[in-house]
Structure 1
Amino acid sequence: TGVEANLLRALASRAGQAVSRDELARLCELTAEGERTIDVQVTRLRRKLEDDPKMPRMLQTVRGKGYLLRAEREG
């Protein structure tokens, strides 16, 4: 979806760095319910990108900080 694409672009532009939900919502131009929308969209992206979405390696949650897109995919 468009939101997923915007989210992936925002994370890729800061690959290797944790990005807060607030910042992701701002970068994706989401409304007040943006934080929950971010969580849902991250779950959807993980289903598409990860071998095991329940144990993500590429799109990780950083507790207390937000989400991080790993700069490299492991072998």
Structure 2
Amino acid sequence: MEQFLRQRIDCPPSGGTRTLLEEKDGIIKRQQDELSKLQTQLKSIQAERDYLLSLLSNDQQSNINNHT
């Protein structure tokens, strides 16, 4: 039974817990970095959209808002 439990993904062999935690921390860090990049890109796109909308007349803006 103990051997079966050690083979499970969520039950690493003795001494493997630290390595597993470090790997998961690394994955989380990479995902946080990617999320940060995507959030920066999103802000840039939103700023560009807002700028383009500011170039339109009120009627044109109203037409766009009615379609979204």
On whether the aligned pair clears a TM of 0.5, the verdict is no
Higher helix share: 2
For the pair shown, which has the larger CA radius of gyration, 1 or 2?
2
TM-score of the two chains, using structure 2 as the length reference: 0.29
